[in-house]
Structure 1
Amino acid sequence: MPALEESLHAVRARIDAAARAAGRDPATVALLAVSKTWPADDVRALTGLGQVDFGENRAQELIGKAAELADLPVRWHFIGQLQRNKAAAVARLGAVVHSVDRTSLAQALGRAGEAAERPVDVLLQVDLGGLEGELGARGGADPAEVPALADAVAELPGLRLRGLMAVAPRGEEPGPAFARLAALAERVRADHPKAGELSAGMSGDLEEAVAAGATIVRVGTALFGRRPLTSPPDTRVTPVTRASGAPG
C-alpha cells in the first residue's frame, strides 16, 4: 500500500510540473491509471487514495474487474483493440473507449449504446507512424482519414465523440509526434467542439504529451511497476536435440 501511494504521489507531481511548465492548469490533465494485468486489489487500493479513472486493454479482464469492484466509484476506460463482438459488453459498463479506429467498430458501439440507452463516449485512435513494419506500428486510423471518421462517429446517436487518442511511435522522439496529434485534434475540434479530449502520453513520455496539450495521460508502469509475465516464469520447454531429427 505505501508503495502505491508513493507512486501515485510521484506521478501526480510529474503531471503537475509538466502542466505548469507548459503554462497550463494541472487540473486540466487527468490521470488514467492503466491497470491491465494487475489485480483488482490494486485498483481498490488506488481508489482509496482518490484515483477514479482506470484503463484496461482486454474486454474480459475489464468485465471481470468491473464486476469485482462494482461497489466502487470507478470510471472505466477501454484502451486496447476492441472486437465488435465485445462492443456491447464494454458499452454496458459505461466505459470510455479510446480505440475507435474504423467505421465498423463505431457502428457496433453505436448500436450497443442505443440498446443500453446510454451513449458511449469514444475517442478516435490515430496512427502516428514510426518505423516501417511491426516495430513501428502502434495501431489507429490514418491521420488523413480521421476527419471523415470523426464526422461518421458524430452522426451515430449511440456515441459521443470526445476526442483523439494516440501512442507515440517507436523510433521517433515523442514531442514532434504529439505535436502532429495536437494539430489534428485542433482540426477535429473545429468541426466537433465537444471533442476536446486528447489522450496521449504514458510513463516514459507524459511530459512531452502534456506540453502538446494532452488532457488525459495513460500511466501504468510508473504507478504499478513492471507488469507481471503473462505466463509463469518456470514454464518448462522440452529441449530439442539433433538426435531427435530437428534441424540444426
Structure 2
Amino acid sequence: MPTLAERYAAAYDQVQVATQKANRAAGSVKLLAVSKTKPVSDIEAVAALGQIDFGENYAQEAVEKAQKLSHLGLQWHFIGPIQSNKTRPLAEHMDWIHTVERDKIARRLNDQRPANLKPLNVCIQVNASAEPQKSGVSVAEIGPLAALIDELPQLQLRGLMAIVENTADQARLAQQFTLMAEQLELLQRNYPSVDTLSMGMTQDLQPAIHHGSTMVRIGTAIFGARQPKAAPEQ
C-alpha cells in the first residue's frame, strides 16, 4: 500500500502532467486537497509536504479543523452545500466558499464576515450538466448573482465552480467543461478579480484541465477511502 506521502506526490504529479499536456503554464492549476472526514493528523502530514489548500464539505468539521490548524497558515475552502444556519461560522473561519448559489447565502456570508478579515473569496456554483438533482445556478442566473456578489464589500468574486455529470461519455464531459470555460471568460470581461475555474476531480481532472480548470479537487486519491460520518449535520 502506498503511503500518504506517496499518494500525495502521485496526485500532485498527475496535475502537473495534465497541465503540461494541455500546454498550460506550469503552476496555472492548483490542487485542492479534499480532506473531509479525514483526521487532523493526515492534514498536518500533507501540509508538511507543501500543500496549502484544503477543501471540506461539512461546516462543523471544516470550522473545527480550521481552528485546530490555524497555526499552519493553510487556506480553507468550503466545497459543500451551505445551510443558512451555518453561514456565520463559515464566514468567520473559511478563506474560500465554492458553493454560493443563492442571493440569501451571499448576503449572509457578507454580513457575517468579520471586518478584521480579508473579504471572503467566493465562487458561484453552476449546474453545468443541468441535472435536476444537482445544486448550482443555471447559466442564465450567473450574471445576476455575480453582480450582487460584486456589490458586497466583504465578498470577493473569484470565479465559478461546477461538478460535471458522472459519465464516461467524453463528448458530454467536454461540452460541460467548455461551457464553464466560456462562462468564466464572460465573467472576466466585467470583473477583474475573476481568475478561478474550480472543476475536475480525480477521475476527470485531465479533460477538466484541458478545458481550462484552474483548481482541481482531489480527495480519495490522496487520503484514501473516506470514513463515514457519524450523523448528518443539522
TM-score, length of structure 2 as denominator length? 0.91
Matched, 1:150 2:146: yes
Match of 1:244 in 2: none
Question: 2:157 aligned to 161, 173, 177, which one?
Answer: 161
Preserved contact between residue 84 and residue 109 of structure 1 (Cα < 8 Å)? no
Distance 2:70 2:40 in 1: 11
Take 1:91 and 1:75, find their aligned partners in 2: how far apart are those partners? 13
Change (3 A) 1:188 1:52: same
Which residue does the alignment assign to 2:68?
Answer: 68
Contact 1:122–1:163 (CA<8 Å) still a contact in 2? yes
Q: What residue identity is the alignment partner of 1:13?
A: D
The AA in structure 1 aligned to 2:189 is: A
Give the Å deviation of 1:35. Answer: 0.2
Three-state SS of the structure 2 residue aligned to 1:76 is strand
Is 1:195 matched up with 2:191? no
2:118 match: secondary structure: coil
Contact kept in structure 2, 1:121 and 1:161, CA below 8 Å: yes
Contact conserved, 2:99 with 2:136, CA < 8 A, in 1?
yes
Structure 1 residue 115: deviation in Å? 4.4
SS in 1 for 2:55: strand
The alignment's TM-score, normalised by the length of structure 1, stands at 0.86
Equivalent residues in 2 for 1:29-68, closer than 5 Å: 29-68=29-68
Q: How far off is 1:15 after superposition?
A: 0.9
d(CA) in 1 for partners of 2:83, 2:95: 15
Cα RMSD between the aligned structures? 1.9
After alignment, is 27-36 or 59-68 more displaced?
59-68
1:200 is aligned with what amino acid? M
- In 1, the alpha carbon distance for the partners of 2:106 and 2:228 equals 32
Q: Which residue number in structure 2 is paired with residue 170 of structure 1? A: 166
The CA deviation at 1:229 is 2.8
Whether 2:229 is the aligned partner of 1:230: answer yes
| 2: CA distance, partners of 1:95 / 1:117 | 9
- 1:169 Cα deviation after fit: 1.4
Aligned residues between the structures = 228
Larger relative contact order, structure 1 or 2 (CA cutoff 8 Å, min sep 6):
2
Partner of 1:206: 205
Q: Which amino acid aligns with 2:212?
A: G
For 1:2 and 1:76, the matched residues in 2 are separated by: 26
26-35 or 223-232, larger mean C-alpha shift: 223-232
Residue 152 of structure 1: how far off its partner (Å): 1.1
CA shift for structure 1 position 70: 2.2
Larger Cα-atom Rg: 1
* Partners of 1:143 and 1:212 in 2: CA distance: 17
CA contact (8 A) 1:91 1:116 kept: no
1:217 aligns with 2:213: no
Question: Please, which runs of 5 or more residues in structure 2 have no aligned partner?
Answer: none
Deviations for 1:88-137, whole angstroms, at most 9, x for unmatched residues? 21121142000001111110111112545531110100001255x54xx2
What's the % identity of the aligned pairs?
A: 39
What amino acid does structure 2 have at the position aligned with 1:152? L
- Please state how far the C-alpha of 1:9 moved relative to its aligned partner: 1.1
Residue of structure 2 equivalent to 1:238: none
Q: Is the 8 A contact 1:113 1:119 kept in 2?
A: yes
CA distance in structure 1 between the aligned counterparts of 2:211 and 2:218, rounded to whole angstroms: 17
